[in-house]
Amino acid sequence: MELSDATVLVTGGAGFVGSHLVDHLLPDNEVRVVDDLHNARREWVPDGADLYEGDVTDPAVLDEALTEDVDVVFHFAADKSAARDDIEQFRGNNALTEAVVARMDEVGVTDVAFTSSSVVYGEAPRPTPEDYAPLEPISIYGASKLAEESLLSVYAHSHGFRVWNFRFANIVGPRLQKGAVVPDFIEKLRTDPETLEILGDGRQEKSYMHVEECVEAMCHVVEHADAPVNTYNLGTRTTTSVTTIADIVSDELGLSPDYEFTGGDRGWTGDVPRMRLSIEKLSALGYEPEQSSDDAVRQCVRELLDEGVFDASED
């Protein structure tokens, strides 16, 4: 579909990646945002976008925002904590997607782009292609994303929907919030410049993609892939270890801390220690990320420091 002069609804559009997508879509499209601002900020919604504040599962909110004149829905709204080991996360994320597809079906909107995750693959061989099987997630978050993809597949094949599933690598950049490794390292070093605790053994190694390239890739795929279900990995061809991220953060802060490792081969229950996605399918469609994982991480560190939200004086 053409993302120009379209009416676009972005659930979770005041959050990290969602707000960057809204920035990218304006001013060439009419953009509506639904967000309860739980893990987001009102000021991240740019002028020109209409904000409907509230939960996606609230019919009063969704019915007002998702009307028959919407051309495409970008569905970001989710509990995104990959470390949360709680079945309620599975139920909550699926309830969000169930509400969106039910309302779309009711008003005749059939195009939806869904932000999934690399964690649906579990501990898979690397680089992992989109057709890798069996999909065996090892976290509640991964299970929720796989279940949501399955529901969207049903609506694509039985209700005439067109679906784009985006399996993200680790996305970094401005507005990345605490809980992710880069802002967590910055916060720890602002508090104690001498010592940095690193979860696991530091050898966990994953692909990192800058949010600007992530958003560009999403829009490229939506505009150029038109099967009933279009599933694409979004990442880079390279990986970065947790210890390397610590080195980059320390270097940008001008520090040389001692590293203290908590031990083990992963940072938390459900953590996939090593991940690199195949992006051959994305490349064949005509989009190739320019930055390496190291470059994306370093740019992210500089951008977060420029935002000034990790001052040592902050609680």
Residues designated catalytic: 141
Pairing of strands 205-206, 240-241: antiparallel
SS3 of residue 198 by DSSP: strand
The DSSP line for 87-116 is HHHHHHHHHHHHHHHHHHHHHT--EEEEEE
Q: Kindly list the distances between the CA atom of residue 251 and the CA atoms of 189, 194, 254, in Å, as whole numbers in the listed order.
A: 11, 13, 5
Query: What tokens does 148 get?
Result: 């949501």
φ/ψ (deg, to 5) at 45 = -85, 115
SS3 of residue 208 by DSSP: strand
CA angle 43, 49, 53 (to 5 degrees): 65
SS3 of residue 62 by DSSP: helix
Is residue 23 within 8 A of residue 173, CB to CB? The reply is: no
Query: What tokens does 74 get?
Result: 């970008």
At 279, which amino acid appears?
I
Is residue 252 within 8 A of residue 185, CB to CB? The reply is: no
SS3 of residue 77 by DSSP: coil
Is residue 24 within 8 A of residue 219, CB to CB? The reply is: yes
> What's the chain's Rg over C-alpha atoms?
19
φ/ψ (deg, to 5) at 191 = -80, -45
β partners of residue 272: none
Could you tell me where the DSSP H helices lie in the chain?
16-25, 59-65, 87-107, 140-158, 181-191, 211-224, 242-253, 280-284, 293-307
